[in-house]
């Protein structure tokens, strides 16, 4: 199969490496021309995924037309807040015939658009001409690029309302180190993969403050409550949040040394400002912008999401992490309810 990959960050490179080893022809697009040139010459991203060699037969380009030349499937791996501009670039420069020839658009970025509060599949549907939801799938789960690219056993879910597309991805992406399940809850999988990054920021803040396992265990549990509350309100299947895109990704992102969102929170927990913490990150922590989106969604739907609220205030209102934790602990006493 010919597969195009939009985005050449660590996750894009990991997927390119995995899928090329699976036997697929891969063309990967990088928006930044200097980075595209560097990747083509070094066949490695020394800052984002050091030590992982991009196979020589993976094409790397700065021209978006190149990835559509032969592709029958397109993976969207750009940062979530740039998916709309990427889709607009495609709509403006790629012939409609090429767009129509894509059998499946696989969204592998995680986030909710800040300006519109829309999920990534909704953004894509708005911007890609004549695209239908039956051609969209979400690829999500506990999948750090650092491990997938080194062929460490990983399990993920492919969610689409189109069962044929989900099973096609399952068939074409699965390897002895990369197991794919199918799911039909697009909304739930997208939402879970986005909100868990906020909880990971909070987990990192706990690490930065020097808290222990008791704190993090409680945080993950009550964070899951917030994910389910929001998910049920916008039509997701509650069961999805107990699966790979929910609990699986939540545990991994909150606990792992590879988690950029946990690391971002850890920097904040040591007392750094948002700008100072961002300056120390080499990769995008999607949870920062997603916190804005989910905070405003919670207010829009009048949903109680106290962890999200305190993370938002710490990020964007200058509240100290220590005070945010104190206010969470001293909230009105109540029964444990979901």
Q: Give the chain's mean pLDDT.
A: 95
Out of 48, 110, 135, 196, the active site residue is: 196
Answer yes or no: is 27 within a domain: yes
- Distance separating alpha carbons of residues 49 and 182, to the nearest angstrom: 28
- Distance separating alpha carbons of residues 201 and 259, to the nearest angstrom: 9
pTM score, whole prediction: 0.94
pLDDT band for position 305 (cuts 50, 70, 90): very high
Confirm whether 196 is a catalytic residue. yes
Q: Domain tally for the chain?
A: 2
Answer yes or no: is 239 within a domain: yes
**Domain limit, last residue, from 150, 184, 218:** 184
Residue 101 has pLDDT above 90, yes or no: yes
Range of the domain at 212: 194-329
What DSSP string describes 284-318?
--HHHHHHHHHHHHHHHHT---HHHHHHHHHHHS-
Same domain, 20 and 164: yes
- Distance separating alpha carbons of residues 285 and 122, to the nearest angstrom: 21
List pLDDT tens digits, range 45-83: 999 999 999 999 999 999 999 999 999 999 999 999 999
In this prediction, residue 114 carries a pLDDT of 94
In this prediction, residue 338 carries a pLDDT of 63
Residue 285 has pLDDT above 80, yes or no: no
Compute the chain's Rg from CA coordinates: 19
List pLDDT tens digits, range 229-249: 999 999 999 999 999 999 999
Closest CA to 134 of 156, 95, 160: 160
**Domain limit, last residue, from 146, 163, 184:** 184
Residue 282 has pLDDT above 90, yes or no: no
Same domain, 155 and 66: yes
In this prediction, residue 168 carries a pLDDT of 98
């Amino acid at each position: 199969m010919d597969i195009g990959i939009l985005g050449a960050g660590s996750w894009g490179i990991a997927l390119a490496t995995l899928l090329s080893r699976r036997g697929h022809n891969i063309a990967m697009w990088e928006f930044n021309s200097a980075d595209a040139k560097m990747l083509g010459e070094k066949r490695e991203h020394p800052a984002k995924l050091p030590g992982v060699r991009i196979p020589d037969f993976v094409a790397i380009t700065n021209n978006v037309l190149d990835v559509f030349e032969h592709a029958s499937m397109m993976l969207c791996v750009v940062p979530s807040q740039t998916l709309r501009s990427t889709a607009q670039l495609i709509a403006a420069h790629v012939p409609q015939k090429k767009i129509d020839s894509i059998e499946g658009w696989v969204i592998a970025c995680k986030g909710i658009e800040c300006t519109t509060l829309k999920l990534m599949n909704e953004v894509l549907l708005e911007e890609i001409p004549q695209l239908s939801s039956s051609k969209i799938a979400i690829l999500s789960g506990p999948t750090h690029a650092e491990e997938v690219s080194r062929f460490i056993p990983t399990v993920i879910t492919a969610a689409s309302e189109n069962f044929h597309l989900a099973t096609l991805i399952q068939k074409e992406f699965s390897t002895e180190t990369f197991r794919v399940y199918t799911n039909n809850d697009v909304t739930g999988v997208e939402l879970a993969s986005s909100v868990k990054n906020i909880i990971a920021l909070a987990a990192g803040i706990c690490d930065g403050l020097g808290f222990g396992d008791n704190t993090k265990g409680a945080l993950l549990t009550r964070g899951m409550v917030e994910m389910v509350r929001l998910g049920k309100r916008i039509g997701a299947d509650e069961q999805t949040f107990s699966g790979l895109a929910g609990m699986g990704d939540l545990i991994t992102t909150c606990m792992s040394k590879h988690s950029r969102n946990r690391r971002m929170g850890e920097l904040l927990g040591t007392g750094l400002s948002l700008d100072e913490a961002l300056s120390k990150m080499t990769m995008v922590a999607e949870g920062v912008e997603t916190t804005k989106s989910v905070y405003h969604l919670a207010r829009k739907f009048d949903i109680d999401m106290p962890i999200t609220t305190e993370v938002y205030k710490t990020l964007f209102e200058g509240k100290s992490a220590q005070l945010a934790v104190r206010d969470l602990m001293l909230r009105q006493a109540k029964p444990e309810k979901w």
